[in-house]
């Protein structure tokens, strides 16, 4: 039966039990199909983009997800009161929660996802691997047993052979995952993995596997219906990762031959059939050399599903709606085709140069590539929105398509050049570095790609021409802002008074204004002379003629007749100049302002980001050495351990477990060791 013959069975209204870009993504397909949408939102998301796009929106509680998006009864209550017939869980949050699927069924609300039994079967990595082993699906050598004692896990690791990988049994997304290089490191890394797994999934069980040194992460998109049909929509390569989490994904996988594609697709469908799977799911494999091994099955739609949509021309969310409404799959395996190549880049608010530490703040400036047939941006934020500590720091997903992989890589690089974000740190420079790398262009990728190329974590130094552009554009922007302020302040009674002019006039001398700019720790003085419609700028012993013009579409800096396209974004006391896809932040120095004083030092530990304290590892009076673990924070679904910056004695511990702390908050202070005149050590009392 064709889809258009049974439209009457389709839902009239659905609730989306999620937020951010996936909620916006589901709303787009629902609107195209004429299905009304209900959003839910926490206190932190009251003004979020997904709330504004939905037909109606219901509040469900405080900002922390465990008090709002993860509370099953609050989600169901919103569904009941709104009259929603079905719930789409998105990914993350409750999407792989079997209790939630059962609660939906009990409430007579359709869960747009697999049966609870399938979620349970694949929800435990250990149980899933045992099931796959019985079904003949190849596995990585490892231990998946119930005995979680340190002795048992230590013995299992020794038998497998180092290096090994600890993985949370109940979760994914890189949470509760640690690489162990040698036996001596196992106890501490195991404890950290179990703690993170317990915090993320409420289950601290782990499994241990052989760690493959040059693996590729290949996953197969599967789809089943309630009539016994099962297909796969080919593979995705998700090998470019950081912190065991995906950064770039592409389809099809580079170098995949038809026979291997058939083998992996059949294995994935066998895995899904083994648990009676219905709906969208992903079977993940790790591949090295001629072998491929089952890792896990994600019983939900994946973040990277758009690349599959790009190469197949199918809308997987529409498929989800129709299968959940009882329809059959729209086509069989033979009808599915791969057209071209697609790549997805995840744009995160994080700092690659600081071990991918999440970045929190307002999106002061956000310019994204325009949607086109071969360029797509899935996002849940707008300019002015806040990236908070409560949720994943993803800003958007940038998806491109090309006739072949080379064309897709070129289109990705071009789209990344057009992506502009000011207000938070982002991984855009990393993404551009990957897209421009010769090995990536050649398809020579594996999960260790970023680790092997640390140079892409730090953008190359800007050349002299780019630095001059940044300084000159900033100085002209400072003058323009001063001019606008002077016009506003000019008295209406005498607007033509020469005292209102800001033309840098000087008695018996050429008119000029000195502007001092600070970039990093360096200061540069520019002397700016108005010359007709241009400016002559004295900089580093040279004179440059410049002008700055533009509109909403673009800003142009003319420097000695050469035009450079850029963007200047004022924010606070700083200016960010974006040129050639790279941010350069400069501040104007006010010589009349009092000197800045620095109050932070090595005798205290401060919070690098807003976060929740999950563990305090020391107490007042403890003597610690530099590098000792002191405290563990949790923010944006990530655990962050803070270490002692010096040798010393703990003087104060400012916070307890579950306290929320803001960026820069003082956490721990020290009494530091100092030397007596005779060279003996003493304790210096903290002032």
Strands 279-288 and 350-351, bridge-based pairing: unpaired
Q: What percent of the chain has pLDDT over 70?
A: 90
How open is the CA angle 562-566-567, to the nearest 5 degrees?
Answer: 150
Residue 249 within a domain: yes
Instruction: Tell me the average pLDDT across 3-25.
Output: 82
* Annotation marks residue 300 as catalytic: yes
The total number of structural domains in the chain stands at: 6
CB-count burial class (<10 Å; 0-12, 13-18, 19+) for 271: buried
- Using left for φ > 0, alpha for ψ between -120 and 50, and beta otherwise, residue 84 falls in beta
Q: How far apart are CA 351 and CA 427, in angstroms?
A: 6
Residue 493 within a domain: no
For residue 276, what is the domain's CATH number?
Answer: 3.30.470.20
When pLDDT is cut at 50, 70 and 90, the band that residue 78 belongs to is very high
Instruction: Tell me the average pLDDT across 533-553.
Output: 87
The mean-pLDDT minimum among 43-57, 210-224, 387-401, 491-505 falls in: 491-505
Residue 650 within a domain: yes
Instruction: Say if residue 526 is in the same domain as residue 564.
Output: yes
When pLDDT is cut at 50, 70 and 90, the band that residue 508 belongs to is low
Three-class secondary structure of residue 216 per DSSP: strand
Residue 123 within a domain: no
Q: What is the pLDDT of residue 58?
A: 98
The set of residues, in sequence order, having a beta carbon less than 8 Å from that of 431 and lying 6+ positions away, is 247, 248, 345, 347, 416
Instruction: Say if residue 474 is in the same domain as residue 580.
Output: yes
Instruction: Say if residue 286 is in the same domain as residue 347.
Output: no
Q: How far apart are CA 10 and CA 391, in angstroms?
A: 32
What pLDDT, in 10s, does the model give residues 46-63? 999 999 999 999 999 999
Residue 490 within a domain: no
Three-class secondary structure of residue 371 per DSSP: coil
Helix axes of 316-324 and 20-32: crossing angle, nearest 10 degrees: 70
Q: What are phi and psi of 312, to 5 degrees?
A: -105, -20
Closest CA to 281 of 230, 344, 226, 326: 230
Q: How far apart are CA 552 and CA 456, in angstroms?
A: 31
Q: What is the pLDDT of residue 598?
A: 43
Domain boundary among 539, 557, 588: 588
When pLDDT is cut at 50, 70 and 90, the band that residue 170 belongs to is confident
Strands 394-402 and 375-379, bridge-based pairing: antiparallel
What pLDDT, in 10s, does the model give residues 327-339? 999 999 999 999 9
- pLDDT beyond 70 at 348: yes
Instruction: Say if residue 522 is in the same domain as residue 645.
Output: no
Q: Return the DSSP state at 506.
A: B
Instruction: Tell me the average pLDDT across 79-89.
Output: 98
Which helix (H) or strand (E) covers residue 482, if one does?
A: helix 464-489
Q: How many other CB atoms sit within 10 Å of the CB of residue 354?
A: 12
When pLDDT is cut at 50, 70 and 90, the band that residue 300 belongs to is very high
Instruction: Say if residue 218 is in the same domain as residue 177.
Output: no
Instruction: Say if residue 243 is in the same domain as residue 317.
Output: yes
Q: If you search the block for the tokens 């912190």, which residue do you land on?
A: 243
Q: What is the pLDDT of residue 592?
A: 65
Residue 117 within a domain: no
Q: How many Å from the N-terminal Cα to the C-terminal Cα in the chain?
A: 80
Q: How far apart are CA 379 and CA 669, in angstroms?
A: 41
Q: What is the pLDDT of residue 635?
A: 77
The DSSP code sequence of 660-677 is EE-TT-EEEEEEEEEE-T
Instruction: Tell me the average pLDDT across 79-103.
Output: 97
What's the mean pLDDT when you consider all of the chain? 88
Domain boundary among 210, 236, 260: 210
When pLDDT is cut at 50, 70 and 90, the band that residue 533 belongs to is confident
Instruction: Say if residue 574 is in the same domain as residue 472.
Output: yes
Tokens of 614: 């999950």
Q: How far apart are CA 359 and CA 349, in angstroms?
A: 5
Instruction: Say if residue 133 is in the same domain as residue 266.
Output: yes
Out of 236, 242, 261, 300, pick the active-site residue: 300
Q: If you search the block for the tokens 């004295």, which residue do you land on?
A: 538
Q: How far apart are CA 83 and CA 237, in angstroms?
A: 40
Closest CA to 202 of 170, 172, 158, 239: 170
Residue 197 within a domain: yes
Instruction: Say if residue 162 is in the same domain as residue 222.
Output: no
Tokens of 19: 């937020």
76-90, 235-249, 464-478 — most confident range: 76-90
Three-class secondary structure of residue 323 per DSSP: helix
Instruction: Say if residue 249 is in the same domain as residue 266.
Output: yes
For residue 165, what is the domain's CATH number?
Answer: 3.30.1490.20
- Using left for φ > 0, alpha for ψ between -120 and 50, and beta otherwise, residue 174 falls in left
* Contact status, residue 635 vs residue 596, Cβ threshold 8 Å: no
Instruction: Tell me the average pLDDT across 269-276.
Output: 94
Residue 240 within a domain: yes
Instruction: Say if residue 582 is in the same domain as residue 479.
Output: yes
Instruction: Say if residue 135 is in the same domain as residue 261.
Output: yes
What pLDDT, in 10s, does the model give residues 105-124? 999 999 999 999 999 999 88
Domain boundary among 310, 337, 364: 337
Q: How far apart are CA 389 and CA 685, in angstroms?
A: 35
When pLDDT is cut at 50, 70 and 90, the band that residue 139 belongs to is confident
Q: If you search the block for the tokens 């040698």, which residue do you land on?
A: 182
Instruction: Tell me the average pLDDT across 379-405.
Output: 95
Instruction: Tell me the average pLDDT across 634-652.
Output: 83
Q: Which domain holds residue 651?
A: 604-684
For residue 666, what is the domain's CATH number?
Answer: 2.40.50.100
Instruction: Tell me the average pLDDT across 476-482.
Output: 89
């Amino acid at each position: 039966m064709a889809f258009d013959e049974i439209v009457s069975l389709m839902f009239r209204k659905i609730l989306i039990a999620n937020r951010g870009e996936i909620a916006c993504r589901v709303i787009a397909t629902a609107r195209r199909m004429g299905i009304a949408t209900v959003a839910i939102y926490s206190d932190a998301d009251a003004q979020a983009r997904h709330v504004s796009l939905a037909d109606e929106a219901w509040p469900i509680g405080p900002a922390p997800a465990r008090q709002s998006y993860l509370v099953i009864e609050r989600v169901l209550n919103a569904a009941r009161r709104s009259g929603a017939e079905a719930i789409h869980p998105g990914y993350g949050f409750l999407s792989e929660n079997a209790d939630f699927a059962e609660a939906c069924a009990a409430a007579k609300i359709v869960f747009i996802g697999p049966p609870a039994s399938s979620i349970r079967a694949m929800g435990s990595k250990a149980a899933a691997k045992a099931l796959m082993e019985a079904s003949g699906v190849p596995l990585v050598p490892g231990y998946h047993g119930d005995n979680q004692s340190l002795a048992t896990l230590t013995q299992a690791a020794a038998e497998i052979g180092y290096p090994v990988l600890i993985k949370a049994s109940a979760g994914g997304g890189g949470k509760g995952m640690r690489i162990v290089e040698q036996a001596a490191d196992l106890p501490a890394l195991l404890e950290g993995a179990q703690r993170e797994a317990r915090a993320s999934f409420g289950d601290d069980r782990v499994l241990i596997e052989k760690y493959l040194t040059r693996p590729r992460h290949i996953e197969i998109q599967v789809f089943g219906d309630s009539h016994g049909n099962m297909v796969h929509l080919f593979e995705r390569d998700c090998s470019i990762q950081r912190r065991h989490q995906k950064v770039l994904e592409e389809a099809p996988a580079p170098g995949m031959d038809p026979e291997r594609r058939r083998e992996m697709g059949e294995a994935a469908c066998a895995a899904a059939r083994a648990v009676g799977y219905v709906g969208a799911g992903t079977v993940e494999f790790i591949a090295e050399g001629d072998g491929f091994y089952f890792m896990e099955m994600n019983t939900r739609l994946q973040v990277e599903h758009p690349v599959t949509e790009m190469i197949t021309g199918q809308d997987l969310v529409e498929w989800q709606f129709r299968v959940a409404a009882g329809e059959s799959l729209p086509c069989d395996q033979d009808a599915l085709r791969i057209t071209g190549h697609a790549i997805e880049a995840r744009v995160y608010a994080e700092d690659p140069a600081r071990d991918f530490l999440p970045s929190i703040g307002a999106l002061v400036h956000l310019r994204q590539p325009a949607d086109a047939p071969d360029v797509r941006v899935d996002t849940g934020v707008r300019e002015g929105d806040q990236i908070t500590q409560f949720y994943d720091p993803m800003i958007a997903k940038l998806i491109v398509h090309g006739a072949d992989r080379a064309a897709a890589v070129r289109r990705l690089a071009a789209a990344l050049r057009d992506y502009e974000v000011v207000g938070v740190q982002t991984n855009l420079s990393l993404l551009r570095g990957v897209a421009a790398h010769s090995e990536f262009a050649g398809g020579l990728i594996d999960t260790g790609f970023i680790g092997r190329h640390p140079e892409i974590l730090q953008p190359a130094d800007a050349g002299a021409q780019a630095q001059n552009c940044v300084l000159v554009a900033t100085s002209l922007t400072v003058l323009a802002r001063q001019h606008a302020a002077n016009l506003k302040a000019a008295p209406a009674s005498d607007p033509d008074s020469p005292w209102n002019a800001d033309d840098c006039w000087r008695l018996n001398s050429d008119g000029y204004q000195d502007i001092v700019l600070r970039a990093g720790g360096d200061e540069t003085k520019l002397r700016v002379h108005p010359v007709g419609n241009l400016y002559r700028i004295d900089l580093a012993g040279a004179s440059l003629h410049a002008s700055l013009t533009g509109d909403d579409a673009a800003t142009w800096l003319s420097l000695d007749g050469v035009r450079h396209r850029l963007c200047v974004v004022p924010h606070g006391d700083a200016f960010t100049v974006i040129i050639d896809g790279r941010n350069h932040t400069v501040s104007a120095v006010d010589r009349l302002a009092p000197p800045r004083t620095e109050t932070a030092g090595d005798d205290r530990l401060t919070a690098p980001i807003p976060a929740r304290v999950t563990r305090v590892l020391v107490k007042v009076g403890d003597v610690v050495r530099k590098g000792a673990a002191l405290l563990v924070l949790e923010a944006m679904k990530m655990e962050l351990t803070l270490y002692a910056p010096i040798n010393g004695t703990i003087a104060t511990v400012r916070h307890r477990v579950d306290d929320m702390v803001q960026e820069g908050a003082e956490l721990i202070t020290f009494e530091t060791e100092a030397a007596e005149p005779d060279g003996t050590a003493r304790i210096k009392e903290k002032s």
